[in-house]
Structure 1
Amino acid sequence: MDIAWLRDFEALVAQKNFSRAAEERNVSQPAFSRRIRSLEEEFGVKLINRQTLPLSLTPAGEVFLAQSRIMLRTYEETLERCQIIDAAGENVIRFATSQSLYMTHFKTHIAPLVERGGLEIDLNSTGWAADQFVSALQQRYCDVILTYWHPSMDALAPLGLGNCDFITLTEDSFLPVSKNGANGPLHTLKSDNKKPISLLSYGTVSALRSVVEYALRQQIDGPKMLVVNQSALAISVKAMIMEGFGLGWLPQELCKTELADGRMKVVGGKEYAHHLEIRLYRDKENTKPTLNRLWRDMQALSHKSTD
């Protein structure tokens, strides 16, 4: 598929007329019509209802319009990122991490080293699925990934089998928490509750979902849970907890302020808490000098934190 076809489609939607859209796109009308038809053939559906005046979209066309805008935005963002990296040179270190880790451990552990060392970082704080982080590293889309790690995270297993190095930068606690009310937490893990406990969990794309499921499997006689919402991001789970919709598991660093000021409360004992490692992964064969320098600094920081 030619990316120009998406721009043609957007022009036709805006103009609702083949002639005016062709003029906007600076091509002849026959050529423009052929490109729109090629787009429809590519997807095997009719996108434009040609029987109406002005032209309208078919139901499939309505869906495609929303998705085409996402595709164009992704294309433009990718193009911009590639141009920035190319202009900056080969020494830029490309990081990928989740939003929650960017807001916590990246800022506290890595950002100061980057600043002191004068390193150039291209940071991609993303909502990728766990396996996308793995493939991004394997395909050299990024040089380093910063990720949570727990033995239950099967999606990250290929990194252990592959040609990767890792550093355990630090640890975090994964805790069941609830919004705190005037009379205590709004939701608890007491097994004598008559009604199922409302659980705010993670979607299938999140590596943290497997840790929640692991935590619950360890408690055979634990309370009945009802999943009322699933989110891909820990930030979103936190927001739902703060709205009082249920309890959920969060990395302690992500909610330490709310725990300290009493807006949140840990609602399970030690048996419900689990340790998360904060790991950096890189491809062993990536010989970028700036990456090697950062890796040595990260190893020194890791050793210092465990002494």
Structure 2
Amino acid sequence: MKQLWIEDFLTLVDAGTFSRAAALRHVTQPAFSRRIQSLEAWLGVDLVDRRSQPMRLTAVALQHVPQFRALLRDFSQLRSGMHAEGNGLMRVVLATQHSLTMTRVPALIQEIQKKDKSTHRIDFRVRSENRDECTALFIRGEADLLLCMEEQEDLLCALMPDASRLSLGHETLVPLSAPTKAGKALHTPRAGQQLKLLAFPPDSFLGRVTYKSSLGTLFQLYNVDVVHESLFLAGIKEMLLAGLGMAWLPESLVERELKSGTLVNLSSSLKTIKLPLGLYRSSHAQSPEAIDRIWSMFGK
């Protein structure tokens, strides 16, 4: 089987027709069709129902599209990883939360690269997900390092007894609102008035933390209307800046906005939430020497 055939098949899935897929792959339609037939012959199954008009994928093809996408991704990662190692680089996979990719990871990688004096440089691949998926990737052995926010009374050490942990400080979630023209908070709890809230899904890590620490009481005391719910902090930040509600966000994500006055900190009337930052290392890392070097930089 050729990687080219997998790319052809996924292009056909996305394009919906042989003619469009062939054009996207820069080959003639007959040549593209022959390559799909080669993949079908190698698999021993039909991927396309050629009796139907318009063209339709078979049930077995549709069922396995996610596996084809994963296989193509794995091919690409295998190639890039071997290329890095062949050029004297040591590949490290870091799983982290979306928010930390925006606020902490760039500076962390820059600091590691600045401190690292070895001739075999560390090459990072960052996988950004929600916290639960990051943890799952790490436990499955698909990441060498895990950087995430935690609750002080519920660190992930208990869930991952074979992993080692370093503390990298903490992240603080602060309550925020856009300002009025007079510079006061546009959205703040007031008796008898509706409070518009931009929230995280309650089944997400940040959702569980904010509901446990602040929102439970807020819902009891005030008329709260959740007008937007999202896992993506960048989206919540934009809604916040547009004045569509109040929200809790990492302080490091809004430092410039707080200094410029485009956002107002509501911590004088609402709780802030302090969350430890933990860096975990796998006991089965692909490049243990690279992980040892990173650990020595921050473990002192």
Instruction: Give the TM-score, by structure 2 length.
Output: 0.74
Aligned 8 A contact 2:8 2:36 in 1: no
Structure 2 residue 207 is the aligned partner of structure 1 residue 213: no
Aligned pair count reads 285
Matching residue of 2:19: 15
Stretch moving more, 258-267 or 226-235: 226-235
Unpaired runs of at least 5, structure 2 = 23-27
- Tell me how far 1:181 sits from its aligned partner: 2.7
SS of residue paired to 2:177: strand
Alignment of 1:74-153 (within 5 A): 74=73, 78-79=77-78, 81-88=80-87, 91-118=90-117, 120-151=121-152
Give the whole-Å Cα distance in 2 for the aligned partners of 1:262 and 1:237.
18
Counterpart code for 1:100: S
CA distance in 2 between counterparts of 1:193 and 1:136 reads: 46
Deviation at 1:104, TM superposition (A): 2.4
Gaps of 5+ in 1: 41-46, 301-307
Give the direction of change, closer, same or farther, for the CA distance of 1:122–1:210 in structure 2 (3 Å limit): farther
Cross-structure match for 2:223: 224
Structure 1 contact 164–282 (Cα < 8 Å) conserved: yes
Q: Which amino acid aligns with 2:124?
A: L
Distance 1:77 1:189, change over 3 A: farther
Q: Which residue of structure 2 aligns with residue 266 of structure 1?
A: 265
Post-superposition shift, 1:73?
Answer: 7.2
Letter in 2 for 1:13: T
RMSD of aligned residue pairs (Cα, Å): 4.1
Q: Cα distance 1:97–1:194, how it changes in 2: closer, same or farther (>3 A)? A: same
Name the structure 1 match of 2:234: 235
- d(CA) in 2 for partners of 1:139, 1:189: 43
Offset of 1:270 from its aligned partner?
A: 6.3
Name the SS for the 1:180 alignment partner.
coil
CA distance in 2, matches of 1:112, 1:17: 44
Residues in 1 aligned to 2:156 and 2:231: alpha-carbon distance in whole angstroms: 20
Matches within 5 A, 1:1-307: 4=5, 7-8=8-9, 10-11=11-12, 13-15=17-19, 21-27=29-35, 38=45, 50-52=51-53, 55-56=54-55, 74=73, 78-79=77-78, 81-88=80-87, 91-118=90-117, 120-151=121-152, 157=156, 160-183=159-182, 184-190=184-190, 192-195=191-194, 197-203=195-201, 206-214=204-212, 215-219=214-218, 221-269=220-268, 271-284=270-283, 286=285, 288-300=288-300
